[in-house]
């Protein structure tokens, strides 16, 4: 059983905030110089046997994917022989990871993926069975698989069995092939002061500049309170560097020769404006290639009735694509610590579970 230590001046290594809602266990965790993340399990009292990492897109955070992760965990609990754990990661410069020291530049896809490996190693976890990445997170997922296959993370590494790339163009993305909305958003945010009067002010300001209400409200959701003002929950300049790396990096060679034992699912949103016909044709040709046993597999899926925000526009359809494939994977790992530890060892009757591990 874990013990609580409170010696003054000792370094905080891990901090878990765990709370129970009916049928689910959540935890939010931060480790010194590794990524912040949230953990979700549908059966908190059972040891998990498999793990999926969920990676958000530009200017987002893991919390954006809570609802979808909860739904996929519920689906897998009914259809899979494994006990699944969803790890919702805050990538460098985003969410709670934006405040962590030690995630040094360059802020690119290579280092964003390396952060995932460091997270695994720092906690002594098994390597994730599945990695799901949306938009920029999709390219981080591709880089993670590529680095795993090259041995960048050491001999103990195990490749993901499945990789899901959600509405993320795998090749270079030139500004000529972009509608410029992302660039316009970033330029607008750069023009604003570091502290803003309120979320309402920001939303109104963005709408006045011609952005949609939904996009303006989403941008506003990335503010956090700082005294009487609001500040960004992300590191804007670092995020811009990551976006530039996202646009400049290509993973066609990885998709043309996927690592043995890994299936790469590319999900194209039907109404997304990010896909050129030649890119779709190239992906479909990879999908149609015969399996030779020496390499992995690329599969292309079209998500109907969805724009770029796949988990919001058509979460049910996305679930129907992803969940059955994940459910087919065998269990691979049982943890040393099967469940959360109650902060007061259930003596005070509180509903929240909090564990602080100090060194």
Q: What is the pLDDT of residue 342?
A: 34
Lowest-confidence segment of 65-69, 124-128, 271-275, 336-340 by average pLDDT = 336-340
Q: What is the mean pLDDT of residues 148-168?
A: 96
The count of other CB atoms within 10 Å of the CB of residue 306 is: 23
Q: What is the pLDDT of residue 10?
A: 33
Q: Over 50: is that where the pLDDT of 93 sits?
A: yes
Q: Work out the pLDDT band at 260, boundaries 50, 70, 90.
A: very high
Q: What is the pLDDT of residue 28?
A: 55
Q: Which of 344, 332, 349, 345 is nearest to 85 (CA)?
A: 332
Lowest-confidence segment of 48-52, 145-149, 246-250, 307-311 by average pLDDT = 307-311
Digit-coded pLDDT (tens) for 346-358:
333 333 322 222 2
**Quick one: how many helices (H) and strands (E) in the chain?**
11, 13
Q: Where are the domains of the chain?
A: 37-173+235-328
Could you tell me whether strands 223-226 and 229-232 are parallel, antiparallel, or unpaired per DSSP bridges? antiparallel
The CATH architecture one would assign to domain 37-173+235-328 is 3-Layer(aba) Sandwich (3.40)
């Amino acid at each position: 059983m874990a013990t609580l230590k409170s010696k003054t001046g000792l370094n905080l290594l891990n901090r878990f905030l765990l709370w129970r809602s009916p049928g689910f266990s959540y935890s939010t965790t931060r480790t010194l110089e590794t990524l912040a993340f949230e953990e979700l399990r549908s059966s908190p009292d059972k040891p998990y046997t498999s793990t999926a990492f969920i990676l958000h897109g530009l200017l987002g955070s893991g919390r954006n994917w809570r609802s979808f992760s909860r739904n996929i965990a519920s689906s897998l609990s009914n259809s899979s022989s494994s006990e699944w754990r969803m790890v919702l990661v805050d990538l460098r410069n985003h969410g709670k990871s934006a405040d962590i020291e030690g995630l040094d530049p360059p802020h690119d896809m290579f280092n964003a993926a390396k952060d995932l490996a460091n997270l695994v190693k720092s906690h002594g976890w098994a390597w994730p069975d599945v990695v799901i990445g949306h938009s920029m997170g999709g390219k981080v997922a591709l880089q993670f698989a590529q680095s795993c296959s090259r041995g960048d993370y050491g001999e103990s590494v195990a490749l993901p069995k499945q990789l899901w790339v959600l509405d993320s163009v795998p090749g270079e993305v030139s500004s000529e092939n972009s509608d410029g909305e992302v660039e316009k958003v970033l330029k607008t945010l750069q023009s604003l002061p570091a502290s803003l009067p309120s979320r309402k002010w920001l939303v109104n300001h963005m709408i006045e500049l011609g952005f949609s209400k939904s996009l303006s409200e989403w941008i506003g959701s990335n503010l956090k309170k700082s005294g009487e003002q609001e500040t960004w929950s992300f590191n804007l300049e670092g995020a811009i560097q990551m976006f530039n790396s996202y646009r400049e990096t290509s993973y066609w060679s990885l998709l043309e020769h996927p690592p043995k034992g890994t299936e790469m699912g590319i999900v194209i949103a039907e109404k997304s404006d990010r896909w050129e016909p030649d890119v779709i044709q190239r992906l479909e040709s990879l999908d149609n290639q015969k399996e030779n046993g020496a390499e992995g597999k690329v599969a292309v899926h079209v998500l109907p009735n969805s724009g770029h925000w796949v988990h919001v526009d058509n979460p049910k359809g996305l679930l129907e694509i992803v969940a059955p494939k994940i459910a087919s994977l065998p269990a691979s790992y049982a943890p040393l610590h099967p469940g959360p530890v109650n902060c007061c060892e259930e003596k005070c009757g509180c509903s929240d579970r909090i564990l602080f591990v100090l060194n």
